Amino acid sequence: MSYWYNVDTGQVESDADRSRGEQVLGPYATEEEARGALAKAKENTERWDDEDRDWGGGAPGTGAGGGGDGDD
């Protein structure tokens, strides 16, 4: 069984009662992992932003460093 985190309600949902649409993050193997979904997403975003800055020498979204957005 998989678990999902609903960002609208803040509740963990299972396959049986999962909401449909963009408001759920997952799937996760355990309820505990699903409960930590927002913290994990924040951690990943911060790490990826750091990697972008290291790779391109600029802030994310600025077009610095050949990010492929045509603004270089």
C-alpha distances in Å from residue 53, one per residue of 25, 37, 43, 64: 26, 24, 16, 9
* Gap between the Cα atoms of 27 and 9, Å rounded: 16
Residue 24, Cβ neighbours under 10 Å: how many? 21
Using a cut of 0.75, tell me whether the model's pTM lies above it. no
In this prediction, residue 20 carries a pLDDT of 86
Tell me the pLDDT tens digit for each residue of 33-52. 999 999 999 999 999 999 99
Residue type at 36 in one-letter notation = G
